[in-house]
Amino acid sequence: MDYSQKIARLEEILSQMERGALPLEKTLELYQEGQSLVSECRAFLNQAEKTVKKLEDDGSLSEFEEEEEA
């Protein structure tokens, strides 16, 4: 499952849980699946953040640094 599919599945899980009327066992199962997906998405985003580069004026690549807002 890619990142977009994981996010879509998380949205499905949230929708099901918000509707309620699920047996406790199913709610716990969905919660565990959601937690696992959140963890996987966080790991993906952390890795992506580490690999983001910006092109410097001289054409070299350097680590991406967030600019502070004034």
Answer yes or no: are the C-beta atoms of 54 and 62 closer than 8 Å. yes
pLDDT at 31: 96
Evaluate whether residue 46 is within a structural domain: yes
Evaluate whether residue 70 is within a structural domain: no
Rounded to 10 degrees, the C-alpha dihedral 38/26/23/4 comes to: 50
Total structural domains within the chain: 1
Query: Percent of the chain beyond pLDDT 90?
Result: 61
pLDDT at 55: 41
Evaluate whether residue 69 is within a structural domain: no
**SS3 for 57?**
coil
Q: How far apart are CA 55 and CA 36, in angstroms?
A: 35
Evaluate whether residue 68 is within a structural domain: no
pLDDT at 61: 60
User: Which domain, by its residues, includes 34?
Assistant: 3-63
pLDDT at 65: 62
Residue spans of the chain under pLDDT 70? 52-70
Evaluate whether residue 19 is within a structural domain: yes
